[in-house]
Structure 1
């Protein structure tokens, strides 16, 4: 059964923490001693307790081991500085190469725009022409593709509108014949007859034909 890794954290209980420190400290000192004996290694171990008490182990001499460590650090320091200088130099060279590439690309861009081509040879001009033709062909191809996509969308939209128009026409415009006939019949019944129209015309004639004097005589005789 594989056990999962437990997260190590500080022991909160002071008593348990002190007991664990004593056990682990003794075990660590024992391991350092065994390592120096079994492997003939120079081992120096320094431990400070939480209260500041010092515990140490040295297979030969603690001072000699510390001095040896300091000498090693001083001797390795130039190598580190040299490595940093080499890394810095490499970065400068890479930056110079990138700057050169950017300059070349800018010059090529200006030539494609028709600038600074006075000193170009016939071969360079031919290359520029070929590049421009390739670019134009790609642009035209993309433009045609966009046209096709737009036409397809408009066609689909037209079909949708036609179907919607047909649906609305069937729903609101087409009127049944019976309803139309009854409406016409109602209109005929609501309109006045020819006889009534003629009577109205006669009355209007009697009232308005003639001069004002004769009209007043006719009214008195009546």
Structure 2
């Protein structure tokens, strides 16, 4: 009598979910390599983990990811690279406009010792400087927050790799013990229950 299939649903236990991810990922990439070699197909496989870490496989016969994407564009009549370039061009134009605006504001905020300023004009200049300081502080906090998020993603990625290595080592030692007839559970000396550092979950508050 065959074994019944288990229901496919999200694994709630984080440790078990991460272990299953590494097993299924390795199996998926193995099947991709086999399909590419056995059937002589060009294949690109992209996979992102929950922490945003990228894993990918590209057939050895394909020169680059760009080459395969361009073939995809020609076949489906879509413009993946073109859309990306248009987005970058729009971002560049926006940055140039911001630079021009900041240059104008800088000229307004520059005090010339040879000029005679009235009290209202000085008050206006003071308000402009205060607004500029607030804008600079806000941008600084945004940049710091982005760098912190970037470092947290790197730490989570390293954490996943470490967990995967520990998990593989534990399975390897378990297999060796079973082959040798031993009944003592493996002891790798490594902690397999690796939790995300507590500081990552803390919310950083920036003053504005």
Do both proteins adopt the same fold according to a TM-score greater than 0.5, normalized to the shorter chain?
no
TM-score (norm 1): 0.32
Q: Which has the higher contact order (CA 8 A, sep 6+)?
A: 2
From the two aligned structures, give the one with the greater helix fraction.
1
Question: Greater CA radius of gyration, 1 or 2?
Answer: 1
